Amino acid sequence: MPYNEIEAADRSEIRERQNERLRETVRNAYENVPFYREQMDEMGVGPADIETIEDITKLPTTTKEDFRDEYPDGLFAVDHSEVRRIHASSGTTGKPKIVAYTEDDLDVWKEAMARSLAAAGVTEDDLVQNAYGYGLFTGGAGLQQGAETLGAALLPIGGGDTEKQLEMMTDLGSDALACTPSYSLYIAEHAEEQGIDPRDLPVSTVIFGAEPCTDPMREEIERRLDVNGIDLYGLSEIVGPGVSIECHEAQDGLHVWEDRFYPEVVDPATGEPVEEGEEGELVLTTLNKDALPVLRYRTGDMTSLNYEECECGRTMVRMDNVTGRSDDLLIVRGINLYPSQIEDTILEIDDVAPHYRIDLYEQDNLDVIELTVEQAEDAERGKDQLQEVVADRLDSVLAFTPDSLEIVDPGAIARTEVGKVQRVYDHR
């Protein structure tokens, strides 16, 4: 049952809201953000040219570099006195991207996150263990507000301290766990080390996000912890977590709350829209944010859109789960490859644990790629035999041969307890 009836409304009603809110958003951006006004003037487009959502392609795009260039508050559309909260998304390089919310914006976020949790199957009787990081990162606050708005109970434990996570989960009977996919596996491993069968833990739903997660990785999480694994998507530049989520009924694509965040998919090279259902880069426009209206944000995340009605009854468009970013693309000796394709291929093999790393070097002006794969605890094949199987599979599925392929002992690859897991190390 949807949290908000708009989730299952007639498409024409959703369209109506999008049209109206796009007009308001463009007016706000044009009148109050010099960055957008200059770009639109240059393109010869004004608020009067935007009548329906189809007109969105007339608008300029926004990039992460724009956030950095306009640091700290050049993209704000309201006076500081109206701002109620500021978050920031950490960049590995340069200034963080600063995002701001008015009181109304916070309400929009809370509602979107409450919808998301309800779609995940969380009810007001449930206890949600929130193992996302708190602070400037939007993960912790987003989950917390959403759970409270829904009327569920929330345990704000934050990331890390796995010992305590397990103890409180068991003692309090947490129904849902929110964290990165890699951390949910870490918790499972830690439980096993303590002689606890992770399937006996009280959690029945893991809501994961902030990292890409391929289907085999999700299956591993579901099997190891005996849970429903629900993929949650969001990004600070747009709002934080709660832009889209899988419904627990179908678990087949993430419903985008498109009355609030409008999705387009474009060719990452040209920026032109792709055909419906085709893969490309996700572009998002906020339709409901006052402090920081964002027009056509180039997320870098690769996905496709599916407008077919879902078996859950929701009519809102579904996006495919994001397993790669356009800037993650590895180009090795003329072969274009996403790390997620490697993950997808190797995790299909029994005896391979869901832990691997990819190292990139440059030698004599050539790219060298080294792959390290962990053997599963209960592996039947020896390491040599497993290495052959992995190499064969990579070659037959991806036509890809790493320069070196090492199979290592169970537990040999470092785990990430706090923050996002790193799997690709570029030493070039």
> To the nearest whole angstrom, how small is the minimum distance from the Cβ of residue 134 to Zn ion?
30
CA–CA dist 2, 119 (Å, integer): 7
> To the nearest whole angstrom, how small is the minimum distance from the Cβ of residue 299 to Zn ion?
22
Judged by CB under 5 A, the stretch of 76-84, 158-166, 250-258, 344-352 that binds Zn ion is 250-258
| Residues facing 268 on adjacent strands | none
> To the nearest whole angstrom, how small is the minimum distance from the Cβ of residue 260 to Zn ion?
17
- Contact of 91 with 63, CB cutoff 8 Å: no
> To the nearest whole angstrom, how small is the minimum distance from the Cβ of residue 316 to Zn ion?
8
- Contact of 289 with 259, CB cutoff 8 Å: no
Q: Identify which of residues 154 and 243 has a Cβ nearer to Zn ion in the complex.
A: 243
35 to 74, contacts with Zn ion by CB under 5 A? none
Judged by CB under 5 A, the stretch of 45-53, 153-161, 169-177, 302-310 that binds Zn ion is 302-310
Q: Identify which of residues 250 and 391 has a Cβ nearer to Zn ion in the complex.
A: 250
Q: Identify which of residues 36 and 233 has a Cβ nearer to Zn ion in the complex.
A: 233
Judged by CB under 5 A, the stretch of 188-196, 232-240, 311-319, 374-382 that binds Zn ion is 311-319
Q: Identify which of residues 225 and 247 has a Cβ nearer to Zn ion in the complex.
A: 247
> To the nearest whole angstrom, how small is the minimum distance from the Cβ of residue 120 to Zn ion?
11
Taking residues 152 to 171 in sequence order and writing x for each that binds Zn ion by CB under 5 A, - otherwise, the string is --------------------
Q: Which of 243, 310, 352, 353 binds Zn ion (CB under 5 A)?
A: 310
CA–CA dist 283, 290 (Å, integer): 19
Considering the rule CB under 5 A, would residue 250 count as an interface residue with Zn ion?
yes
Which helix (H) or strand (E) segment is 283 a member of? strand 280-286
- Contact of 261 with 243, CB cutoff 8 Å: yes
Contacts of 119 (CB under 8 A, 6+ apart): 2, 3, 7, 230, 245, 246, 247, 248, 255, 312, 314
Task: Report the relative pairing of strands 366-375 and 318-319 from DSSP bridges.
Answer: unpaired
> To the nearest whole angstrom, how small is the minimum distance from the Cβ of residue 129 to Zn ion?
24
Q: Which of 112, 247, 265, 322 binds Zn ion (CB under 5 A)?
A: 247
Q: Identify which of residues 249 and 348 has a Cβ nearer to Zn ion in the complex.
A: 249
CA–CA dist 372, 369 (Å, integer): 10
Q: Identify which of residues 66 and 246 has a Cβ nearer to Zn ion in the complex.
A: 246
Judged by CB under 5 A, the stretch of 41-49, 228-236, 242-250, 371-379 that binds Zn ion is 242-250
Instruction: Using the structure block, give the residue that is written with the tokens 């508050």.
Output: 73
CA–CA dist 168, 155 (Å, integer): 9
> To the nearest whole angstrom, how small is the minimum distance from the Cβ of residue 318 to Zn ion?
7
Q: Identify which of residues 94 and 313 has a Cβ nearer to Zn ion in the complex.
A: 313
**If you count them, how many residues does the chain have?**
428
Integer distance in angstroms from the first to the last C-alpha of the chain?
A: 50
Distance of CA 120 to the CA centre of its chain: 15
Q: Identify which of residues 115 and 314 has a Cβ nearer to Zn ion in the complex.
A: 314
> To the nearest whole angstrom, how small is the minimum distance from the Cβ of residue 317 to Zn ion?
11
Judged by CB under 5 A, the stretch of 145-153, 215-223, 243-251, 417-425 that binds Zn ion is 243-251
Q: Identify which of residues 133 and 209 has a Cβ nearer to Zn ion in the complex.
A: 209
What are the CB-based long-range contacts (under 8 Å, 24+) for 187-196?
Answer: 187/131, 187/162, 187/225, 188/221, 188/224, 188/225, 189/411, 189/415, 190/162, 190/163, 190/166, 191/166, 194/166, 196/166, 196/170
> How many other CB atoms are there within 10 angstroms of residue 163's CB atom?
10
Q: Which of 312, 322, 342, 379 binds Zn ion (CB under 5 A)?
A: 312
194 exposure class (CB count in 10 Å sphere: 0-12, 13-18, 19+): exposed
Instruction: Using the structure block, give the residue that is written with the tokens 């030493």.
Output: 427
Judged by CB under 5 A, the stretch of 108-116, 314-322, 367-375, 413-421 that binds Zn ion is 314-322
Judged by CB under 5 A, the stretch of 218-226, 270-278, 303-311, 419-427 that binds Zn ion is 303-311
Q: Identify which of residues 312 and 390 has a Cβ nearer to Zn ion in the complex.
A: 312
Binding site for Zn ion (CB under 5 A): 247, 250, 310, 312, 314
